[in-house]
Amino acid sequence: MPILYDKEHAIFNIQTPDTSYIIGIYDGKLPLHIHYGKRIEQTYDMFDMLDKPAGKNYSFDPVCMDFSEKIARNVHLFELPTYGDGDYRMPAFHAQYADGSTVSKLYYTGHKIYDGKPALSDMPSSYVEDDSEAQTLELYLEDELSGLQAVLCYTAYGDRNVIVRSNRYVNAGKATVTLYNVDSGCIDFDHNDFDFVHFYGAWARERMMERTPLLHGLQAIDSARGSSSHYQNPFVCLASHDAGEDMGEVYGMNLVYSGNFHAGAYVDSFHKTRFFTGINPFDFQWKLDCGESFQTPECVMVYSDRGFGKMSRTYHEFIRERICRGKFRDQERPILINNWEATYFDFNEDRIVAIAKKAAEMGVELMVLDDGWFGHRNDDHTSLGDWFVDKNKLPDGLASLAKKINALGMKFGLWFEPEMISTESELYGKHPDWCLHVQGRSSSEGRNQLILDLSRTEVCDYIIDTLSEILGNANIEYIKWDMNRNMSEIGSAYWSPDRQREVAHRYMMGLYRILGTIKERFPHVLMEGCSGGGGRFDLGMFCFFDQFWTSDDTDAVERQYIQTGTSYGYPAMVMGAHVSACPNHQTGRTTDIKTRGYVALAGQFGYELDLSTLTEEELAEVKKQIALCKELAPVFHKGDMYRIKSPFEGNLTVWEFVSKDKKTAVVEIFVIKGMANPSYECIRLKGLDSAAVYVDRNTGKKYSGEVLMHMGIKREGWKDYSHEILILEKA
């Protein structure tokens, strides 16, 4: 059983195969955090290992008198830290009550343990396929004075080292409660021997890894842009100072949410660490009226005692199998070509068909028509919201174009940006109040567009109905769903003044409803997300999208950093990765088509160029890449990934993917910068069958698995941007 309850000592032991998360109820009412880490079986003496809750009275720390023995709350480890009761660290919950006070005292009233995992109201979440694969603990707390109730929900998966948690707040009192801070995950540690690891970036430079030792005080990241954003990602880690790929302790938190978030660590004067994540409390509040409830997003927690590698592989498998869902979860995806970098807005039906025809000859399986097919969209100043076909470009409409693409043996896909509106559009002329705006203030534009107010039901219904009509009247088997700006002037003409700080979160709830409805109505449509590349690359999106465009930067060198950083928290299966034209449109760098292809093979593979401009030699290489993708995609997408060499640490990038049965290993080696008189690099592989013999497909040489892992292969440095791919198969 993954969740054990020691009634005598009031201790809960939430277990996974290798880990324990242990909670104790002090004095029958206060949930204390006892342990998260390696699995522990015996818990009867766990309270004795903590600072005594009723022990030392630290100077200037007031003591709480609510218990049989007084307690200085500022020095103890809590499951739900609140504000106003003597704990001066960052609270995980902060609210205001009818009397104007912000003091909360949420005490234990009971619990429930049951098989399975509940779906969350209004929020996407992980899931189970059978109740036997997980158990859930719900801790019930109540603030006696106000009547506010909290439900702390923990689910442990029986065969995965994953614990997911979230909180639900119910107003069972007689007056409105205003919520200010509602973190999803919060873990208190009794030491600060950690590094804080996060993944920052910008447009076309997403998820760059940064690692710094914890400092006393607050160390945090956040987004207040209305999306999880390019600039920070809602996946963070605490790692022991010695943690590497295969050693040391690592704690990961990954938030299932696509809007404003914060995450970080607070270290107090006694070297205790509070690790947290949740909705960003900045510019957020929520009026919780009597009888209403508020559900926080879910936090997916992973603990690894063998470094970042084990943590990442745990996340990869869990995301593939219990975050992603639907028809395409277990299927290999079609290899696509997108016309954007080939044509931008300048195309007609004949040109799209010509691009598709050449791609079909190469073995490409899906033609995607990008921006510019609707309204009067010849540049990025107009027509968003007007989702009707531009007959000047496509005189016979989408259904006719789809038939022509299908006749080539290819699927047809379409780009949308449904969340946006252009001021030069018929929709804006009819409904100028449908955009996010503040009455009386000018609105800032991003990419010459405004954002529709998805906190409004009628706006969401318009998007659902419009997309449903398009998808229902043409054979469209793929959607690229884009979102090309962040929020500003966040306001709604619908909501009252006292609810304006709810709008950003209500927007996300509306977006999730739209996506869920479209996915339910059109389960046969492969859905790829995009936000100027990877600007909304998070677990909330992967509850709806089958894959996500990793970055608008398709340069083969930059992509090594981007895809490596992304791989710490997300699997290759969800990373859109394409071969684009050179010189690269983002960096101006020129790399050969082999290097571009091998980097892109480590994601969901495709092309963003006009194949008719390639040489015969390049076209021959394209055919080889497509054949390799069709053969090796199961290894890249469903196998175990090992980061052998990181571009963040040296001049080589080496990715290894090993099939689950260990019969096939694919090793990709990239040199970032050539150098004179280079030394040999020893590349020790991982995850192989040590007793097996592996054959190098390229050379026919045989190697034992133990030699490949313990001695490795040696390679000498090459010229700039050079590459090698090894395919090793069991003899």
The separation between CA 192 and the C-alpha centre of its own chain, rounded to angstroms, equals 26
Residue 487 confidence (pLDDT): 98
What's CA 344's distance to the chain center, in Å?
28
Asked if residue 416 lies in contact with residue 453, where contact means CB atoms within 8 angstroms, the answer is: no
User: Hey, what are 15's tokens?
Assistant: 């277990």
Pick from 331, 328, 348, 330: which is nearest to 339 by CA?
A: 348
pLDDT of residue 458 exceeding 90: yes
CA 702/CA 705 separation, integer angstroms: 10
- Cα 246 to Cα 305, 309, 686, 701: the distances in Å are 9, 6, 10, 28
Provide mean pLDDT across the span 654-682.
Answer: 91
- Check residues 444 and 2 and name the one with the higher pLDDT: 444
| Per-residue pLDDT, 237 | 98
pLDDT in tens, 227-272: 999 999 999 999 999 999 999 999 999 999 999 999 999 999 999 9
- Which single residue is written with the structure tokens 């023995």? 69
pLDDT of res. 675: 79
pLDDT band at 716 (very low <50, low <70, confident <90, very high): confident
184 contacts 165 by C-beta, under 8 angstroms = yes
Produce one character per residue of 617-629: b if its CB has 16 or more CB atoms within 10 Å, e if not.
Answer: eebebbeebbebb
Q: What is the percentage of the chain residues whose pLDDT exceeds 70?
A: 98
Q: 């590497």: which residue's tokens?
A: 244
Determine the pLDDT at residue 56: 55
Name the band, by pLDDT with cuts 50, 70 and 90, for residue 348: very high
702: Cβ contacts below 8 Å, ≥ 6 apart: 693, 694, 695, 696, 731
pLDDT number for residue 454:
98
**What distances in angstroms separate CA 110 from CA 5, 10, 85, 199, one per listed residue?**
12, 11, 21, 39
For residue 90, what pLDDT is reported? 94
Q: Which tens digits make up the pLDDT trace of 618-649?
A: 999 999 999 999 999 999 999 999 999 999 99
Q: How confident is the model at residue 58, as a pLDDT?
A: 57
Give 349-379 as a 3 state SS string. HHHHHHHHHHHHHHCCCEEEECCCCECCCCC
Q: pLDDT class for 45, splitting at 50, 70, 90?
A: confident
Cα–Cα dist 12/124, whole Å: 27
For 297-330, write each residue's pLDDT tens digit: 999 999 999 999 999 999 999 999 999 999 999 9
What's the pLDDT at 511? 98
Would you name the residues annotated as active-site residues? 482, 552
Q: Cα(274)–Cα(191) distance, rounded to whole angstroms?
A: 10
**What does the alpha-carbon distance between residue 521 and residue 510 come to, in Å, rounded to a whole number?**
17
pLDDT reported for residue 46: 76
**C-alpha count within 13 angstroms, C-beta hemisphere, residue 50:** 25
Domains of the chain: 3-323 (2.70.98.60), 336-549 (3.20.20.70), 645-730 (2.60.40.1180)
* CA diameter of the chain: 83
Segments in 241-362 forming alpha helices (H): 307-318, 340-343, 349-362
Q: 50: pLDDT confidence band, cut at 50, 70 and 90?
A: low
> 3-state class of 506 per DSSP?
helix
- Amino acid type, 296: T
Kindly tell me the burial class for residue 724, based on how many C-beta atoms sit within 10 Å of its own C-beta (0-12, 13-18, 19 or more): middle
Question: Can you say whether the dihedral through the CA atoms of 304, 309, 311, 317 is positive or negative?
Answer: negative
Token representation of residue 228: 């999880």
**3-state SS string over 644-683?**
EECCCCCCEEEEEEECCCCCEEEEEEEECCCCCCCCEEEE
Indicate whether 53 pLDDT > 70: no
CA distance linking residue 138 with residue 4, whole number of Å: 13
Measured distance CA(648)–CA(655) in Å, rounded? 13
> Could you report the per-residue pLDDT of 368-422, keeping only the tens digit for each?
999 999 999 999 999 999 999 999 999 999 999 999 999 999 999 999 999 999 9
The label of the residue with tokens 């199961």 reads 634
Confidence of residue 34 (pLDDT cuts 50, 70, 90): very high
pLDDT at 677 over 80: no
Q: How confident is the model at residue 719 (pLDDT cuts 50, 70, 90)?
A: confident
Per DSSP bridges, beta strands 177-189 and 286-288 are: antiparallel
The answer, yes or no, to whether residue 478 has pLDDT greater than 70, is yes
- Which one, of 724, 558, 711, lies nearest residue 654 by Cα? 724
Tokens of 647: 């571009």
Q: Is the pLDDT of residue 705 over 60?
A: yes
472: confidence class by pLDDT, cuts 50, 70, 90: very high
Q: What is the mean pLDDT of the chain?
A: 95
Q: Is the pLDDT of residue 59 over 80?
A: no
* Distance between CA atoms of residues 54 and 32, nearest Å: 13
SS3 104: coil
- Within 214-363, strands assigned E span 217-223, 235-239, 250-256, 261-267, 273-279, 286-288, 293-295, 298-304, 336-338
- Please determine, for residue 54, whether its predicted confidence score (pLDDT) is greater than 70: no
Residue 534 DSSP class: B
Q: Please state the φ and ψ torsions of residue 54, each to the nearest 5 degrees.
A: -100, 20
